[in-house]
Structure 1
Amino acid sequence: MASSTVNRWLRPEVYPLFAAVGVAVGICGFQLIRNVCINPEVRVNKENRAAGVLENFSEGEKYAEHGLRKFVRNRSPEIMPSINGFFSDPK
């Protein structure tokens, strides 16, 4: 019975499904770890939870303005700007 289950799910046609699910689980795990470890609004230990609402605007700004956001801030919101310009700009 186990052999038929393995033969059913471990075929080459199923590999893209495993890859897509693996990437989705990886992104969710990354975001979970990022929020638990460095989000200023998440407090895991008891001492920090007892502090209540903190006015830590600089820490929140540092968390929100991460490196990727700073990198793409002044860039065009297009994936392929040269191809988009070729097909949309008048000559």
Structure 2
Amino acid sequence: MASRWLRPEVYPLFAAVGLAVGICGFQLVRNICINPEVRVNKVNRAAGVLDNFAEGEKYAENFLRKFARNREPEIMPSLNRFFTDPSRN
């Protein structure tokens, strides 16, 4: 029975599903731990709506967003420049 599911052709499927589950788990833990709008314990839930804009700004402006803000939205910039640069012709 195990050899039926553990053939080499199934490994990429396991990897893709494992990656998707890992990303979902990471996002879940990230939201529970550091999202300012999620309150898990009873004391924080009793506080109601908080106007804590500094904490919300810190959560929204994470490292990846700051890193990618002033970059060109290209996947392979050198390859794009190679094919589109008019000075190369």
Mapped pair 1:20 → 2:7:
no
For 2:56 and 2:4, how far apart are their aligned partners in 1?
Answer: 48
Give the alignment's TM-score, normalised by structure 2: 0.93
For residue 77 of structure 1, what is the aligned residue in structure 2? 73
Q: Does 1:44 align with 2:29?
A: no
Instruction: Determine the C-alpha separation between the residues in 2 that align with 1:30 and 1:74.
Output: 26
Alpha-carbon RMSD across the aligned residues, in angstroms, is 0.8
Aligned residues: 87
After TM superposition, what 4+ stretches of structure 1 lie above 3 angstroms from structure 2? none
Structure 1 gap segments, 5+ residues each: none
- Cα deviation, 1:9-28, whole Å, max 9, x if unaligned, reads 10100000000000000000
Partner of 1:31: 27
Q: Alpha-carbon deviations, 1:12-64, whole Å to 9, x = none? A: 00000000000000000000000000000000011111111100100000001
| Residue 61 (structure 1) aligned to one of 54, 57, 62 | 57
Gaps of 5+ in 2: none
**Structure 1 CA distance for aligned equivalents of residues 74 and 5 of structure 2:** 38
User: Which one of the candidate residues 76, 84, 89 is aligned to 1:88?
Assistant: 84
> TM-score normalised to the size of structure 1?
0.91
